[in-house]
A and B are shown apart, each in its own frame.
Chain A
């Protein structure tokens, strides 16, 4: 991993409009903050290396290095990444009812982890008005308040950083792919901090095609005259081409073309659809709104799922082969698009003499992905 600091981060990420507001650089120090879904630099820092750059999922990410450190295997471009098993899953009886995006698998797993003290707390995304508001929850009751996709980029990792600074360890995090990547980089202690302790022990990854710029989404909803409390938002499978917003006053559809306008540029170079660096990953099941796709990736993830099933938090079923196939196809397409875009922007494997890269992947992976 090539290490730089704030100056380069501003140039490479903020300057190129690639910041997705994940919060990885926020609250490590007094110089980055997040407000209403956007990451902001408060004051310049003249250090030559910094965690802000090291953790950022859009700056000099060496995919082989991160994948090796996290999964023990190099990044080879496999569509849904390293994994043990795939299932379809939904919340079991033990998981109290609330507004789930699909099957309630994330809430089920987090509740199970919290109730069994497998984690000390979970960093989840709640809402404040129409802004995503990450927070650390300590109980499964609190976790249920955060259920449902926010569809907008959330600075979740700022809370991880804040809590880590306060000495909180053994946190669980519900993370998008970019956030799972940032956490993986964080776990590597890239700046060799002598007092480093890994604060995160469980990552539940979310499938993600893109997130939306929180401020622009707020403005778009206002423009569309959408009032009331948003209960959830969703993109139904093709050919619907709409973004469905469900509020306490009814349901509104916004053409997907308009919504695509407010996707952060940074999402376009993200090769990961299924949060490959998480312990388990959760997403939709195509055509089956009552279930989630569940990918178990690590031993820790497997244990959590096992406990959750045995205690009635979660119910799993076999995921049909064609669903796995379709997921792999969609994932492979995202990789292909992302790498092509990064290449076009000069941000893929950029030679030193031409500057810094956003991502570095091996020749082998490139051959497989074929951007």
Chain B
């Protein structure tokens, strides 16, 4: 048992931000937690799932984020505390339900935890959940460090129950995935009872049915709740100030940028002239608190990541407060001092601050920077963003690419979200030609597949992972079938939510808490929907390609399931199926007839090019023993031996 649940009040432990959030949920007495995996959020549900039986919680990996919020909302309606967790774009998926939920209001405390990914380190967008707080008109709170990550979550539940509405608790990658010291609090030993009351008057927020109508009435009510939250924010202990009474520059920041700002002030040696107002409650802004601080200075630097959310809200407030506090000069994203895209770091903030203070700031001297860049360029080996050794996706895309190239009708693949999103890169033989949201590959393909009327005669293929299939691939497939779109959907079934760490999904026989669950069979579902379905193993490329060619020639909706377990899957336990070897006397190397197919084109990291011998070799340490390179070697120099 981990310290997550066993840790006693007063103990100080090193927690990853997401563990701190999970502990916060335990200390808040949360009964139900639901989410959909997505970096950087996944560890919250995982950690809670691990202790769920001891903590008497219900924890699930929902089919998608909208359903996660709905599941969590049910708990709230029944009087329990609940959280729902997702990455930033998960909120987009859930937003339709959310917009109605905030009108109907909640009962048991309910907190939505989106983990944003500034800089898109593990995402293909830089979306921000903060904007949703304004759109949904709900309170937004953001922790500035690991201790707060735990403590603020508990407080967020009290707030939610106070105003009887959803509260957003937003994290970012550097908070969720970095670690810090956290002093633990008490985990309450309660046995909450779930009961859904609906027999009261329709407008009764506790006893009546939970609906969003009458809309105008409830919308007004919701705005009153927001006002109440703002009043509570005025006194929030999570809004703190450090610095001189009348700073030359006031830095206003929140979330992960708090640490950057603190360091930047230190780097600029400006503790005496720069004040730091760190806000934990970022929407709605506490007017009185802001007014108090605006009065102390003329120059304000707003430090936040990605869009100028706080900056714009502050400016609106500053304008309203102008008669009281005077005209202020704001520095931030709109002034160009802070970039509007990407992650921040202490250097960027220090440079912005130094500029306003009339100082110069260089993180390193120029000579060192040049030298470091040269060293990196000339001496660091080139490392592609690539699939792991033995990854079935490499094998799948090998066949997908080769079939489409041989087919020679300019066929293309509409991509989707998973490790296989990388297939727009050379590791996937640059196969993906569109790449957007979860489930969108097949949706977009469904559209392309109807353009024959306008002369489009290119074969249309979509790819979709097994988890993505359940998340949002199914409605797209249904759409394609119903509209007789001509597409081939390839389901890359690697038996788990591979990219985020093998979380369960409805296709697997186990749930988040480790309980046996009915596994929904993808081929059966697709056949029942009306598609022509084939299943193949991508590690047998010849057979796979034959099947794919056959499907590609057929009209209508075809589904090809390329099924092979992820090379990193815990089930594989790192066991190699084959011992691979290269016969150097047969390897054609750079000669006409091969020209390094395995190391130049296929590029599995388990293969190395021996520059001296001019042959391929196997890197036995990282080779996963999948056998795929033997299947593609044109000369038969690579052989595989079954591992006993």
Q: How far in angstroms is the closest Cβ of chain B from A9?
A: 12
Give every chain A residue within 8 A of B634 (Cβ-Cβ): 29-30
Which of B549, B593, B594, B600 makes the CB contact (< 8 A) with A35?
A: B549
Docked CA distance A51–B588 (Å):
15
Give every chain B residue within 8 A of A193 (Cβ-Cβ): 592
Docked CA distance A45–B601 (Å):
9
Which of A29, A35, A40 makes the CB contact (< 8 A) with B592?
A: A29
- Which of the 9-residue segments B105-113, B315-323, B398-406 touches chain A? B398-406
Docked CA distance A51–B593 (Å):
8
Inter-subunit contact B408/A38 (CB<8 Å): yes
Give every chain A residue within 8 A of B405 (Cβ-Cβ): 33, 40-43
Q: Which of B585-612 contact A (CB under 8 A)?
A: 590, 592-595, 597, 600-601
- The yes or no answer to B231 lying at the interface (CB within 8 A) is no
Give every chain B residue within 8 A of A30 (Cβ-Cβ): 594, 597, 601, 632, 634
Give every chain A residue within 8 A of B590 (Cβ-Cβ): 47
Mask, A137-155, CB within 8 Å of B = 1, is 0000000000000000000
Inter-subunit contact A43/B601 (CB<8 Å): yes
Give every chain B residue within 8 A of A247 (Cβ-Cβ): none
- The yes or no answer to A294 lying at the interface (CB within 8 A) is no
Give every chain B residue within 8 A of A49 (Cβ-Cβ): 592
Q: Are A33 and B592 CB-contacts (below 8 A) given A42-B401, A43-B601?
A: no
Inter-subunit contact B408/A51 (CB<8 Å): no
Inter-subunit contact A28/B592 (CB<8 Å): yes
Docked CA distance A28–B405 (Å):
17
Give every chain A residue within 8 A of B595 (Cβ-Cβ): 29, 31, 45-47
- The yes or no answer to A177 lying at the interface (CB within 8 A) is no
Give every chain B residue within 8 A of A40 (Cβ-Cβ): 405-408
Q: How far in angstroms is the closest Cβ of chain B from A43?
A: 5
- B contact residues, range: 10 to 19
- The yes or no answer to A50 lying at the interface (CB within 8 A) is yes
Say what secondary structure dominates the interface of chain B: helix
Inter-subunit contact B592/A47 (CB<8 Å): yes
- The yes or no answer to A8 lying at the interface (CB within 8 A) is no
Docked CA distance A120–B277 (Å):
88
Give every chain A residue within 8 A of B600 (Cβ-Cβ): 46
Give every chain B residue within 8 A of A191 (Cβ-Cβ): 592
CB closest chain-B residue, reference A29: B593
CB closest chain-B residue, reference A40: B408
Q: Point out which of A28, A30, A41, A49 has the most chain B C-beta atoms below 10 A from its C-beta.
A: A30
Q: Which of B429-473 contact A (CB under 8 A)?
A: 429
Give every chain A residue within 8 A of B406 (Cβ-Cβ): 33-35, 40, 42
CB closest chain-B residue, reference A14: B408
CB closest chain-B residue, reference A37: B408
Q: How far in angstroms is the closest Cβ of chain B from A59?
A: 15
Q: Point out which of B406, B592, B634 has the most chain A C-beta atoms below 10 A from its C-beta.
A: B592
Q: How far in angstroms is the closest Cβ of chain A from B251?
A: 52
CB closest chain-A residue, reference B553: A36
Inter-subunit contact B408/A29 (CB<8 Å): no
Docked CA distance A40–B549 (Å):
14
Give every chain A residue within 8 A of B601 (Cβ-Cβ): 30, 43
Which of B402, B429, B597 makes the CB contact (< 8 A) with A33?
A: B402
Inter-subunit contact B592/A42 (CB<8 Å): no
Give every chain A residue within 8 A of B632 (Cβ-Cβ): 30
Docked CA distance A171–B601 (Å):
33
Which of B401, B407, B408, B592 makes the CB contact (< 8 A) with A50?
A: B592
Give every chain B residue within 8 A of A47 (Cβ-Cβ): 590, 592, 595
Docked CA distance A43–B431 (Å):
12
Q: Are A28 and B593 CB-contacts (below 8 A) given A33-B402, A42-B401, A43-B601?
A: yes
Docked CA distance A169–B407 (Å):
30
Docked CA distance A281–B222 (Å):
90
Docked CA distance A42–B600 (Å):
13
Docked CA distance A31–B600 (Å):
12
Q: How far in angstroms is the closest Cβ of chain B from A316?
A: 42
Give every chain B residue within 8 A of A38 (Cβ-Cβ): 408
Q: How far in angstroms is the closest Cβ of chain B from A336?
A: 33
Q: How far in angstroms is the closest Cβ of chain B from A309?
A: 41
Docked CA distance A41–B590 (Å):
18
Docked CA distance A191–B594 (Å):
14
CB closest chain-B residue, reference A54: B592
Give every chain A residue within 8 A of B597 (Cβ-Cβ): 29-30, 43
CB closest chain-B residue, reference A33: B406
Q: Point out which of B549, B593, B632, B634 has the most chain A C-beta atoms below 10 A from its C-beta.
A: B593
Docked CA distance A5–B594 (Å):
13
Docked CA distance A14–B595 (Å):
21
Mask, B411-435, CB within 8 Å of A = 1, is 0000000000000000001000000
Docked CA distance A35–B552 (Å):
13
Docked CA distance A30–B429 (Å):
14
Q: Which of A8-38 contact B (CB under 8 A)?
A: 28-31, 33-36, 38
Q: How far in angstroms is the closest Cβ of chain B from A115?
A: 33
Which of A5, A28, A35 makes the CB contact (< 8 A) with B408?
A: A35
Q: Are A42 and B594 CB-contacts (below 8 A) given A29-B634, A35-B408, A35-B549?
A: no
Closest 6 CB pairs of A and B: A35-B406, A40-B408, A42-B405, A38-B408, A29-B593, A33-B406
List A residues at the B interface (Cβ < 8 Å).
5, 28-31, 33-36, 38, 40-43, 45-47, 49-51, 191, 193
Other 5 A-B pairs with CB < 8 A, given A35-B407, A41-B405: A29-B597, A42-B401, A46-B600, A47-B595, A51-B592
A-B contact pairs, 10 of them (CB 8 A): A29-B594, A29-B597, A30-B632, A33-B402, A34-B406, A38-B408, A42-B401, A45-B595, A46-B600, A47-B590
